[in-house]
A and B are shown apart, each in its own frame.
Chain A
Amino acid sequence: DTAVSQTPKYLVTQMGNDKSIKCEQNLGHDTMYWYKQDSKKFLKIMFSYNNKELIINETVPNRFSPKSPDKAHLNLHINSLELGDSAVYFCASSLQGKSTDTQYFGPGTRLTVL
């Protein structure tokens, strides 16, 4: 039983395309996140949603748009993909989004933009 799942696991696409990554959690958590891990393994938060409402929106280009149809899902849509978007994107969730809560991570989606 996968707690936090992401699809697809790998995504290879051309510059300028639009793509989406899906994330689902079956933990009953209220808060979900997207993180980006660059080629040097550095992880940085992108977005946080609590009960379908945006809480954190770090300085990411507005080509990135998170969408949360319900609290168990947080999808990431990326428009006009650029070479620099190549990275591993991790979805995570936590119980209530408190600073003491453990965040549970998905397996990651490796995006390669050619």
Chain B
Amino acid sequence: AQSVSQHNHHVILSEAASLELGCNYSYGGTVNLFWYVQYPGQHLQLLLKYFSGDPLVKGIKGFEAEFIKSKFSFNLRKPSVQWSDTAEYFCAVNAGSADGLTFGKGTHLIIQP
């Protein structure tokens, strides 16, 4: 079975700082990788996903993530964060259509103005 590890549970940054949230997964086969965001009081929304092709994927709101197969990683990045990026960020994998999404425990990001 697959698993997902997010290293940082709480991250506090100032506006305009650069962001990198770590995500590692464990699974020996092909995986499809996702980052979801949950703004306060809202439902989960897809930021970006990777399943093949260019390992650097760009998502909404200036986010990007890089799939590094050798490191089993899919880290999320943003060069300059804004106060409105305050949210919970979830990395997830789907290794097979019958398995659904396996989520990491989430990273609570707080951006200070």
- Please list the residues of chain A having a beta carbon within 8 angstroms of any beta carbon in chain B: 4, 33, 35, 40-45, 48, 55-56, 90, 92, 97-108
A30 to B97: give the CA distance in the assembly, Å. Answer: 13
Residues of B with C-beta under 8 A to A33 = 100-101
B88 CB contacts on chain A under 8 angstroms: 41
Interface-located stretch among B11-19, B44-52, B68-76, B77-85: B44-52
Q: How many residues belonging to B are interface residues under a CB distance threshold of 8 Å? A: 25
A99 proximity list for chain B (CB < 8 A): 32, 51, 94-97, 99
Mark B residues whose CB is within 8 Å of A. Answer: 32, 34, 36, 42-46, 49, 51, 88, 90, 94-103, 105-106, 108
CB of B46, distance to nearest CB on chain A (Å): 5
Q: Contacting B43 at CB < 8 Å: which of A40, A41, A45, A90?
A: A90
The answer to whether A90 touches B105 (Cβ under 8 A) is: no
